[in-house]
Amino acid sequence: MRGIAYGGDYNPEQWPEETRREDLRLMREAGVNLVNVGIFGWVLMEPAPGAYEFGWLDEIVDRLHASGVQVGLGTPTAAPPAWFSRLHPSSLPVTREGHRIGVGGRESACPSSPEYREATAGLAAALAEHYAGHPALALWHVHNEYGAPLGECYCDNSVEAFRRWLRRTYQDLPALNDAWGTTFWGQRYTAWEEIDAPRANHTVVNPAQRLDFMRFTSEEHLDCFRLQRDILRRLTPSVPVTTNFMTTNCKSMDYWAWAREVDVVSNDHYLTAERPDNHIDLAMSADLARSLAGGPWMLMEHSTGAVSWQPRNIAKRPGEMRRNSLAHVARGSDSVLYFQWRASRFGAEKFHSAMVPQAGADSGVWRDVVGLGADLARLGGVRGGRVRAEVAIAWDWQSWWALELEWRPSVDLAYRERVDAYYQALWRSHVTVDFVHPAADLSGYRLVVAPSLYLLTEAGAKNLRRYVEAGGHLFVSYFSGIVDEHDAVHAGPYPGALRDVLGLSVEEFHPLRENETVPLTPGRDLAGRVWSERVRPAGARVLWRFAAGPDAGHPAFTRHDLGAGAAWYLATGVADPRPALAEALDAAGVERPRDLPETLEVVRRAGHLFLINHADEPVTVPGVTGSGVLDGAEYAGAATVPAGGVTVVRER
């Protein structure tokens, strides 16, 4: 691609010839240069088993190429045809409660079904053989949103595949019994055939088994992707292959493992319409996508306005679509793509917004789409550019899985709640962050924040300790470092895996009652919620204490100097962690603006300063020198960003 890719999912099979001709004209008007086609077209590509028909698609792809629009070609395996489900009823997924789903939705095939895998491999090969060498083909878009809505499947095929996965993982039953702690409740297994999927039960099922089934599920979906990817790479080696992630919202897929398998990381993001600060969640999703990619990535789907599945599908305000799109670009995306190009007249998503809305080209949405196309044409200079961050947040899908199983000390323990709280605090402090796996190389960061690492392996714990000893700064929130990869409590007092690096131990957890808070000292207008615990320092210095509650007088916030670095620990859940984080940010030498409103988004990418104003009043930003990319203005010491506006400056 030259410059930023602009466009979205295109479903011309839903429209007559007259509309398709209009689509090409409108794409030229908006500056569209990339569309994804065929995402849900399996039944049209293969109307009967083994009978492939691509003539209808050839005409569309050829016309797009003639109009200067490149194509991301979908392998439409997320929507098996009704004939496939009729011929292979065992491919239909089974829920944890034992219900087999019906046809008529999407993601309606078990990833462990041999018939499904054979059919998807055949379709991928037929597509690649047919379109190899076509000049419009820029990208392979495999499947659609693996893991949503289908995550785990409990059918017989899945159970057999799970047993094979366990054999590869543990080699023998004694190792599995040891890892799963099957002496508890007399669960020891004497034959592989005795092991079932962790189906719904009248009580809690072994958490180690649940955790392994989640790992197996992510791997099964990934195997389905690899199967198609390898075929596409063999037949079209010069065309990159991707599948669309949902970084912050797909709990069931471990994207650290997935990111290694795609040629380019692509991500879907949709605002939670009723959340007033949903632009912060957008930034978080973009930062996580960039972190998975290790650099630039692709925004594969977002919306021009309202979506179709939330309780109240609220349209975007004037200027919001532009802010959303340019925020993704600021945070590393080399594309701005939407679901979808033209709003559907029928089907489940007919009230979902689109680049061409039901109102057509005589609409505010369309005028915004055209204006954004012009903006993106001016921003081609950031393509391929990187975003640098001095702070990282530790993120681990497997810790998320383990934390939210049953029978934890409090129902209020939630992975996203803590991660969101710390990300929001850093965003409002104008600190750009990466996300990291706890066992990854951390040497490039001044500060690493661990909001929720309930599950932490020995390797991850050693990595964090080495980071601190070498001069890094680590900030840890409560209930972290508690269990290993099998959900077994680390030996010794809590928090076992982090006890030494934090310089303390925890004698007992004291979860708080619903809506209960406890004040903190010294003299801060802060209160802990959700959690309190009896902290015993063992080298750590006490910075704050609990002023009341079950741990009154005991440490609430500590600092432990270790080697050339330091580790902080906050033993409760404050609504706004900024006062505590400021201690660590200052000690780590993290520079950030101190005099800007928290509604202003500030990001630097490839020599470009992005200033995105989410407030209803203009903001003047001092210290800005350079050329305005979008407005052509020259800035010599300050820039005023209009209310709800975006200013991008090529800095000097």
pLDDT digits (tens, 9 = 90+) for 313-328: 999 999 999 999 999 9
Name the band, by pLDDT with cuts 50, 70 and 90, for residue 157.
very high
Residues 26-54: what's their mean pLDDT?
A: 98
Please confirm, yes or no, whether 301 is among the known catalytic residues.
yes
Cα separation of 410 and 322, whole Å?
41
Which helix (H) or strand (E) element contains residue 244? strand 244-245
Q: What is the pLDDT of residue 572?
A: 98
Respond yes or no on whether the N-terminal peptide bond of residue 174 is cis (omega within 30° of 0): no
152, 301, 320, 485: the active-site residue: 301
Cβ atoms < 10 Å from Cβ of 137 = 20
Q: Is pLDDT above 70 for 48? A: yes
Contact 347, 325 (CB under 8 A): no
pLDDT digits (tens, 9 = 90+) for 200-256: 999 999 999 999 999 999 999 999 999 999 999 999 999 999 999 999 999 999 999
Name the band, by pLDDT with cuts 50, 70 and 90, for residue 114.
very high
Residues 73-83: what's their mean pLDDT?
A: 97
Q: Is pLDDT above 90 for 1? A: no
The two three-digit tokens of residue 436, written as one number: 């990291």
Residues 93-108: what's their mean pLDDT?
A: 95
What does R_g of the chain's alpha carbons equal in angstroms?
Answer: 26
Label residues 336-371 b or e (16+ Cβ within 10 Å = b): bbbbbbbbbeeeeeeebbbbbbeeebeeebbebbee
Please confirm, yes or no, whether 160 is among the known catalytic residues.
no
Which of helix, strand or coil describes residue 444?
coil
Contact 621, 641 (CB under 8 A): yes
Cα separation of 1 and 68, whole Å?
11
**Helix count (H) and strand count (E) of the chain?**
17, 26
Q: pLDDT averaged over the chain?
A: 97
Cα separation of 286 and 329, whole Å?
9
Residues 621-626: what's their mean pLDDT?
A: 97
pLDDT digits (tens, 9 = 90+) for 578-595: 999 999 999 999 999 999
DSSP assigned state of 334: S
| CA nearest neighbour of 380 among 2, 1, 3 | 3
Name the band, by pLDDT with cuts 50, 70 and 90, for residue 523.
low
pLDDT digits (tens, 9 = 90+) for 378-400: 999 999 999 999 999 999 999 99
Name the band, by pLDDT with cuts 50, 70 and 90, for residue 339.
very high
Alpha helices in 311-381 (DSSP H): 320-330, 364-378
46, 107, 145, 152: the active-site residue: 145
DSSP result, 257-285: HHHTT-SS-EEE----TT-TTHHHHHHHH
Name the band, by pLDDT with cuts 50, 70 and 90, for residue 2.
confident
pLDDT digits (tens, 9 = 90+) for 421-433: 999 999 999 999 9
Which of helix, strand or coil describes residue 475?
strand
Which amino acid is present at 41?
G
Q: Is pLDDT above 70 for 621? A: yes
- 567 pairs with which residues across the strands? 474, 560
Alpha helices in 10-113 (DSSP H): 17-30, 42-45, 55-66, 82-87
pLDDT digits (tens, 9 = 90+) for 249-305: 999 999 999 999 999 999 999 999 999 999 999 999 999 999 999 999 999 999 999
pLDDT digits (tens, 9 = 90+) for 345-372: 999 999 999 999 999 999 999 999 999 9
18, burial (CB in 10 Å: exposed 0-12, middle 13-18, buried 19+): exposed
